[in-house]
A = this chain, B = another copy of it.
Amino acid sequence: MHIEQASESELKTRLEELYASYDQLAERKLALDLTRGKPGVEQVSLSDSLDGVLAGDYRAADGTDVRNYGGLDGLAEARALFGALIGTTPEETLVGGNSSLTLMYQVVDFAMNEGLRGEDTAWALNDSIKFLCPVPGYDRHFSICEYMHIEMIPVPLLESGPDMDEVEKLVKADPSIKGIWCVPRFSNPTGTVYSDDTVERIARLPQIAGDHFIVMWDNAYAVHTLYDDAPALAPISEYCRKYDTMDGVFQFGSTSKITFAGAGVSFIGSSERNLSTLKAHLAFQTIGPDKVNQLRHVRFLKDSAGVTEHMEKHAALIRPRFEAVLDTLDRELGGTGMGEWTAPRGGYFVSFDTRPGLAQEVVDLAGNIGVKLTPAGATFPYGKDEADRNIRLAPTFPSAADVQASVDAFVVCVKLASVKQRLAELEG
């Protein structure tokens, strides 16, 4: 029954039952955790043969001895493999260390303090710098902005991606807006895949925005499909070539959720001019990335087909966890008006919206009975979800049984908070 159709007495009875369920859960002394977008132990085990895959052969295809210094670009074969994943040529691809977050930080840092087109283009020379942040989004993107004193402007994330009418209006009106964060396929946390039209409009943004505007295209889940029929993402590189905006788009990816989390390789795709600028800066802080690990990854993953095959194994492991979450939400909350949620076809998260004003309470209720959820607000700039609705659920890391136990507890907390709130409305 829809919560708004229930009578006060029905709700009161329901509340008693929910308190009883909640108390029973409390007695179970649960210690569950749905917070982290981390691969599970079975997932990382899929790549166990990475260590040893070189079999003593440390030579790259071009003869480079990967055991020695040199090369800020990364190995040629790694640039070819990972460029293919994001639609950039090897020349437009730089393969780095173990963290794409580091690459993103470095791009923003250099654009801010050194200037992507020479010293006099450094954003820091302006009084104020702003970024557009589709919401809900990824907290570590927002943290980089906060750290750099970049003002964040939230824009709604629609089913098609960022609200492009709003985005275009904003960048035309305010030249101090210098960037936008995008997770274009299986967005964190909603699982949104940007529509072709949205991708094309984003590729054009550098044309209509102020000088030195950049798109931060964090394609973290580029190949992380749960189902064969998952929507494809239009290749932004092709639109960039069409509109000559490659200089205004930085694409990022990593193998953290393909092989080992935090021990994979990261990569960046952009114009050759941008990569050349980046390398000039990077040379001051590193002699080059870990090429041994890059060669391991190429030998292990082989090519795009190898990546696809490998990702199917991941999907087989985590699909049941996502289905446990979604089946339970459908069964327990479907049609009740107590929440809305996404049904992603890939990625690492389910995004849940409570009735307005309840996200923090649900997170607290769950926390009090041993079910750790991502802090309410974490998916918004400055940690502020004005509507207090969004909760990010991350079902990949716990065991299938723990995911089920967590979501069972979660729905009790959602119902409890919702019924309490609805009763207060009726009584108020």
A interface residues with partner B (beta carbon < 8 Å): 36, 38-39, 41, 44-45, 47-48, 51-56, 58, 65-70, 97-99, 101-102, 105-106, 140, 143-144, 147, 256, 260-263, 283-293, 296
Contact = CB atoms under 8 A, between A and B. Distances in A.
Contacts of A143: 283-284
B52 A65 contact: no
Nearest to A256: B69
B296 A293 contact: no
30 contacts: A38-B68, A39-B68, A44-B58, A44-B65, A47-B67, A51-B54, A51-B56, A52-B52, A66-B260, A67-B260, A68-B261, A69-B256, A69-B262, A70-B262, A97-B97, A97-B290, A98-B290, A99-B285, A99-B287, A101-B285, A101-B287, A102-B286, A144-B285, A260-B292, A262-B289, A263-B290, A263-B292, A263-B293, A290-B290, A290-B293
Nearest to A104: B285
Q: Could you say how many copies of this chain the assembly holds?
A: 2
A263 B102 contact: no
Given A69-B262, A101-B285, A290-B293, 12 more contacts: A38-B69, A44-B68, A47-B67, A48-B58, A51-B292, A52-B52, A69-B261, A97-B97, A105-B286, A106-B285, A147-B284, A262-B289
A105 B285 contact: yes
A105 B284 CA distance: 8
Nearest to A144: B284
Nearest to A288: B262
Contacts of A48: 56, 58
Contacts of A36: 69
A36 B98 CA distance: 26
Contact of A286 (B53, B65, B101, B263): B101
A262 B285 contact: no
Contacts of A55: 52
Nearest to A265: B290
5 nearest interchain CB pairs? A52-B52, A44-B67, A105-B285, A263-B292, A67-B260
Nearest to A48: B56
A144 B47 CA distance: 37
Contacts of A70: 262
Nearest to A56: B48
Nearest to A143: B284
B285 A102 contact: yes
B290 A262 contact: yes
Contact of A260 (B39, B68, B256, B260): B68
